[in-house]
């Protein structure tokens, strides 16, 4: 299997996950300049006029920054970037946003919550590849049947909306029939876990939570401080926030008056008139790999640390297999 050209020259086999609110152009640019795929949800560009002016401005900013970097650093070119599209019918902006992405020749489209042949075809017409995130082998098959180029396997332990299956089981089932690009998500927060993703059969790791604790991220200082204090035992899996299972910081649930053990969907979801806590603002997601976060650092410094850990893990594994 030959990887698409967009994924061939990364300095690390790593794709940064697009995170609601948290991901922004500054973070994407820093990730790409450090040699990994940076990404942002299209829905994070929330302009008031509804005409897509902010998304246009974001893509222009990212494109120009990466072009300037490549001119100044020909020996270490930036990695390509990705834009995440929610393709569910509830996304009223989808048609407008994909037209903007096609016009700006966004090289990688990450699609979520449903697979659509028309969206994939538009991406291909614009020269892009499509990576679709899935939580089961059944959804993986549907995505490829509808024209996706690659898959993002969201396994147990991933931050935000999460899967329930072991990464070993999920990747194994997918690799029985699919040899295309495959990224693995789920508690990947170190270079060793990145190598572990490849050992299971994935081509790339898919990492989100550690990037919340970076200088470029659009995350409240209190959110970043909570991440630094948290361990895997502090992550709660619940569908109460959005109606779909997700992993959240237990402390953020408690701070907003929500019982972490609740099973019913929060009544305040979508109630923008309420002065109380809002799930998208005050309840914070994180993956089970949160224990690796010890400080808030620039994205480039985080990626450099992961690269050192990855190289050390490769050397350690070589020693083990030789023995």
Starting from the edge strand earliest in sequence, which strands make up the sheet with 14-16, in order?
14-16, 204-207, 182-185, 150-154, 129-134, 108-112, 81-86, 38-41
- Is pLDDT of 281 > 80? no
pLDDT, tens only, 181-214 = 999 999 999 999 999 999 999 999 999 999 999 9
pLDDT in the model for residue 266: 54
Query: Lowest-confidence range among 71-80, 120-129, 172-181, 246-255?
Result: 246-255
Q: Quick one: average pLDDT of 136-158? A: 97
pTM above 0.85, yes or no: yes
Q: Quick one: average pLDDT of 105-134? A: 96
Q: Percent of the chain at pLDDT above 70? A: 93
- Is pLDDT of 87 > 70? yes
- Is pLDDT of 216 > 70? yes
Q: Quick one: average pLDDT of 315-319? A: 92
pLDDT in the model for residue 212: 98
Nearest to 197 by CA among 161, 168, 229: 168
Q: What is the mean pLDDT of the chain?
A: 92
d(CA 225, CA 299): 16
- Is pLDDT of 119 > 80? yes
Query: Lowest-confidence range among 115-124, 187-196, 314-323?
Result: 314-323
Handedness of CA 246, 189, 199, 77 (dihedral sign): positive
pLDDT, tens only, 218-270 = 999 999 999 999 999 999 998 878 777 889 999 998 888 777 776 555 544 44
Domains and CATH numbers, the chain: 5-218 (3.20.20.70), 231-282 (no CATH)
Which residue shows structure tokens 């075809």? 121
Rg (CA), the chain: 19
């Amino acid at each position: 299997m030959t990887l698409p050209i967009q994924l061939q020259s990364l300095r690390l086999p790593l794709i940064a996950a697009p995170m609601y609110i948290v991901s922004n152009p500054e973070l994407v640019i820093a990730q790409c300049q450090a040699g990994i795929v940076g990404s942002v949800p299209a829905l994070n560009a929330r302009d008031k006029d509804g005409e897509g002016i902010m998304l246009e401005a974001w893509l222009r900013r990212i494109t120009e920054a990466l072009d300037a970097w490549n001119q100044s650093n020909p020996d270490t070119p930036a990695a390509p970037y990705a834009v995440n599209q929610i393709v569910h019918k509830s996304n009223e902006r989808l048609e407008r946003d994909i037209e903007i992405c096609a016009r700006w020749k966004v090289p990688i489209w990450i699609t979520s919550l449903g697979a659509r042949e028309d969206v994939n075809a538009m991406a291909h017409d614009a020269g892009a590849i499509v990576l679709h995130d899935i939580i089961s082998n059944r959804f993986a098959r549907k995505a490829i049947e509808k024209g996706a180029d690659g898959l993002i396997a969201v396994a147990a332990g991933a931050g935000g909306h999460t899967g329930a299956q072991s990464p070993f089981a999920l990747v194994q089932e997918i690799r029985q029939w699919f040899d295309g690009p495959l990224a693995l998500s789920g508690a990947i927060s170190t270079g060793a876990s990145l190598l572990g993703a490849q050992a299971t059969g994935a081509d790339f790791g898919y990492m989100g939570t550690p990037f919340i604790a970076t200088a470029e991220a659009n995350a409240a200082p209190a959110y970043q401080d909570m991440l630094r204090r948290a361990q895997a035992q502090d992550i709660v899996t619940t569908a109460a926030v959005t109606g779909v299972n997700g992993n959240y910081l237990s402390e953020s649930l408690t701070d907003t008056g929500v019982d972490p053990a609740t099973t019913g969907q929060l009544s305040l979801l979508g109630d923008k008139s309420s002065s109380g806590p809002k799930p998208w603002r005050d309840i914070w997601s994180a993956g089970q790999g949160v224990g690796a976060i010890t400080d808030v650092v620039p994205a480039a410094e985080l990626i450099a640390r992961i690269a050192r850990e990855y190289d050390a893990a490769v050397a350690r594994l070589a020693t083990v297999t030789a023995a």
